[in-house]
Structure 1
């Protein structure tokens, strides 16, 4: 049984046990059960939070270093990275405009929302900053203080600048530095794996508290959450087809027909790298993309570009913010888009549960949104994750046919593009 399924079953079991206790047990029994389950869920949640910042820093450093190296390999690689960046940011802007509008039309049930919020969730106080103070807040005066304080935006900016500076070092020094961060990342991934192995216990404990508070009605709010996250991904997927219609030579109908086999593989495997052979077949034979272009752009896209992931991650954070009654202004939304862009590069190639935490938690921390609800949302990530992979694969093929329009024959494929697994 996969970890994803075990986590989901733990959620169902926790909600069921909590609901039965609330409906048929005595208040004393529910109180005793909560006194045991609450610290168990809290300890697991604390362990999960402890891994977020060091893992994101390691992933972001190596991801940016790899991307910078790819950009220098050829002109086509540089154009590909530029297009990747523009589309990820565009998807983020769509998310921060579409999701609040959708939640305004289809709001979260207030009673269920209160049940999902942990009593120990810390909601940062709103702060009013001048434009100058807001800009200065991007740069840490003391990176170690930012690290200790969990100032996610400052850490992301510093890590990105540090990684770009590392690409200018002599080869030996650069490789030693990259090797250090790769080692930190690998060690943190082992630690995260250990924590996630206990996820069924932690999620059961957390879900049982929700079941005691709101009963089986929690299923409704989780279904509402899944629908909101899927909706924003569908909007982004539609955008891909619009861009192909406007910018590719092949035409949107030809693209749609050729993409179907790869999309079927994406849905069945939930892995972009597993879909790479089908994408190569669809773009080269089905759409006539030059072989050298497809073999350069598609591996880069699988490794760096995830068009639907950043909007979906932002949708999760916006949903949680709405859950807590937090009103996000333009400054917080802009910060969210920036960190979502960085996190989408950092989390490529990770398993679904790890990717969810490393992508969503930094955005939430940067926007001042509590992350205590995220473990429950991991348990229902299966269906949104299918749409993430579907959208990412469609986006990978879309950018390939767009870039093929102006590609020149001299552009040669990269020899050492990293191929990571995952959505």
Structure 2
């Protein structure tokens, strides 16, 4: 049985058992045991967030800069990727208030869930624009990390990563190897915590079921639909990107990308979809010299649904817990979502869920306790994450090819031509 399935079944079992025991005399005694168990598991995940995000972001920037230096095509692709990531993040900030306004989580359900998780975010006064701008440059990055002040920490890490790329080769490679080792250690630790995930999720789900009752099931369904809807919008955005950026008709693009979408839905893996994406790019007339560079690069460092869906989760949690967000908090969330996505590359879905969304929650002042429950239902939104990523990868590749003015066959060796012809 796969790890996501084990965690999902633990969620369902915990909710059902909690619902069945609601109101029983002994329920509070069980809650007093389950609540600290779930809290310990959440703390175990949280303790890895700062070193994991910092190391992954530095490695992501270093890998991006190295790829951009490799060729003109890669540099253009990276510029397009960054633009699309920021657009993705901004779209979520615009869409979430609309979606939550169209279908609101019932007030009684939200209140029951807040009481069940007993997590109240510390929300202070909303800073003015001047104070906000000054606050994003940390005077002490260590202090920012210690206080979970993530936006200044992310900015410092990004500047550090770009500065690292200016070093001579030997110290640059030494530092990238060091931070790669740090991230590998953190991933091992998170793997251990996720192995214990069914216990932690079961404990949290029991508390939620016992205190919130049937409202918990409706709230989780509401969450899945809202967050998935944001992913669907980003997926559909790939079609106008192909139309405008690559001058490819929507019907033609849809036919070319359909096989890779089928693989994405069945595997939930962009890497597994790469061969089908290469064939789809070929059907659009993208030469191998372009698709052979851009598509593997996209699979490695480009997750267009990441900023939108990660920010959507954080904004959902903020709405769930009644956190009032002003323009400065929204701006912080947009920036955190767009930047941290570059560091969440090639991670399993459950690991990237915590590593990518917790910093955004902390940046906007939302609690991270609900993530321990929401991670269990990530399987369904993850389908739309992969579907959107794969579709946009092909659209971005076609756009880079068209804008670079590379004609089919240009820059290919005789071996490339034979492979393209299937000979």
**252, 255, 258: which is aligned to 1:257?**
255
> Does the 8 A contact of 2:112 with 2:215 survive in 1?
no
Whether 2:320 is the aligned partner of 1:323: answer yes
Contact kept? 1:45, 1:375, Cα under 8 Å: yes
Q: What residue is the counterpart of 1:163 in the other structure?
A: 161
TM-score scaled by length of structure 2: 0.94
Mark the runs of 5 or more structure 2 residues left unpaired by the alignment.
414-423
When the two chains are superposed, the root-mean-square deviation of aligned CA atoms in Å is 1.5
Distance in 1 (CA, whole Å) between partners of 2:149 and 2:411 is 41
TM-score (norm 1): 0.94
Alignment of 1:269-348 (within 5 A): 269-284=267-282, 286-348=283-345
Q: Distance in 1 between matches of 2:112 and 2:300?
A: 39
CA distance in 1, matches of 2:251, 2:124: 48
Q: 1:137 aligns with which of 117, 135, 138?
A: 135
Greater mean alpha carbon deviation, residues 328-337 or residues 110-119: 110-119
Deviates more, 1:240-249 or 1:287-296: 240-249
The alpha carbon displacement at 1:119 in A equals 5.2
Q: Distance in 2 between matches of 1:330 and 1:220?
A: 30
Aligned ranges 1:219-258 → 2 under 5 Å: 219-258=217-256
Match in the other structure for 2:66: 69
Find the counterpart in structure 1 of residue 28 from structure 2.
Answer: 31
Q: 2:50 aligns with which of 42, 53, 73?
A: 53
3-state SS in 1 of match to 2:95: helix
Match of 2:96 among 81, 84, 99: 99
Structure 1 residue ranges, 4+ long, deviating more than 6 angstroms after superposition = 410-413
Take 2:69 and 2:276, find their aligned partners in 1: how far apart are those partners?
28
Give the Cα separation in 2 of the matches to 1:411 and 1:327.
Answer: 54
The alpha carbon displacement at 1:241 in A equals: 0.6
Q: How many residues get paired?
A: 409
1:8–1:379 Cα contact (<8 Å) kept: yes
Q: After the TM superposition, which residues 190-201 of structure 1 pair with which residues of structure 2 at under 5 Å, given as runs? A: 190-201=188-199
Q: Secondary structure at the match of 1:348?
A: coil
1:400-411 residue pairs with structure 2 within 5 A?
A: 400-409=397-406
Query: Equivalents in 1 of 2:97, 2:291: separation in Å?
Result: 37
CA distance in 1, matches of 2:290, 2:250: 19
User: Using the alignment, how far apart are the partners of 2:63 and 2:133 within structure 1?
Assistant: 28
Q: Where does residue 361 of structure 2 map in the other structure?
A: 364
Q: Distance in 2 between matches of 1:396 and 1:213?
A: 44
CA shift for structure 1 position 68: 1.1
Q: Is the 8 A contact 2:81 2:302 kept in 1?
A: yes
Question: 1 CA distance for matches of 2:66 and 2:411?
Answer: 15
Given that 1:74 and 1:412 are in contact with CA atoms closer than 8 Å, whether structure 2 keeps it comes out as no
- Cα 1:183–1:253 change in 2 (3 A) is same
Structure 1: gaps of 5 or more residues: 414-423
Per-residue CA distance 1:187-216 (angstroms, 9 max, x = gap)? 010000001111100000000011111223
User: Shift in Å at residue 120 of structure 1?
Assistant: 4.4
**Partners in 2 of 1:90 and 1:317 — Cα distance?**
17
Deviations 1:156-175 (A, max 9, x none): 11111001111111110001
Aligned pair 1:202/2:177, yes or no?
Answer: no
Deviations 1:125-156 (A, max 9, x none): 23232332211101110111111111111111
Paired residues of 2:238 and 2:395 also in contact (CA < 8 A): yes
SS of the equivalent of 2:272 reads helix
Within the candidate set 366, 372, 375, 2:372 is matched to 375
- Rounded to whole Å, the distance in 2 between the matches of 1:219 and 1:98 is 24
